[in-house]
């Protein structure tokens, strides 16, 4: 069974700090990686996706991918209380389940004013 692992948290950071969220995956063939944010009682919303090794930046968010070590991370700079949510990592199941996405259980982030 392919797995996507995330620390459940809660991860607590002060306002203005950098929040670092990590995700490891078991399928070495995975090629597509996604980060979703989910507020309590709401549906997941896409923040970023990354396909290549290295960093991808979008505003205050940076996704980092290291395929050799099989981890992907999300950095949130200048964290705001509105960033408090659960962050889901998703990875495509290459070679199995027709490539559908496998989700981690999420990391709960709390940004304290």
Residues pairing with 102 in the sheet = 91
Residue where the block lists tokens 């989700």: 103
Residues 47 and 36 sit within 8 Å (Cβ to Cβ): yes
* Count of residues making up the chain: 113
- Distance of closest approach, residue 26 Cβ to other proteins, in angstroms: 15
DSSP state, residue 110: E
Among 34, 72, 74, 87, binds other proteins (CB under 8 A): 34
Among 19, 44, 63, 87, binds other proteins (CB under 8 A): 44
Asked whether position 103 contacts other proteins by CB under 8 A, the answer is: yes
Where on the chain is the footprint of other proteins (CB under 8 A)? 31-32, 34, 42-46, 49, 51, 88, 90, 92-94, 97-101, 103-106
């Amino acid at each position: 069974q392919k797995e996507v692992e995330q620390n459940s948290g809660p991860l607590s950071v002060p306002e203005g700090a950098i929040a670092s969220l990590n995700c490891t995956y078991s399928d070495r063939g995975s090629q597509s990686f996604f980060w979703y944010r989910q507020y309590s009682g709401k549906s997941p919303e896409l923040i970023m996706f990354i396909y290549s090794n290295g960093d991808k930046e979008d505003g205050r968010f940076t996704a980092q991918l290291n395929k050799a070590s099989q981890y992907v991370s999300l950095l949130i700079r200048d964290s705001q209380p509105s960033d408090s949510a659960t962050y889901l990592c998703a990875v495509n199941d290459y070679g199995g389940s027709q490539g559908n996405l496998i989700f981690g259980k999420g990391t709960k982030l709390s940004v304290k004013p």
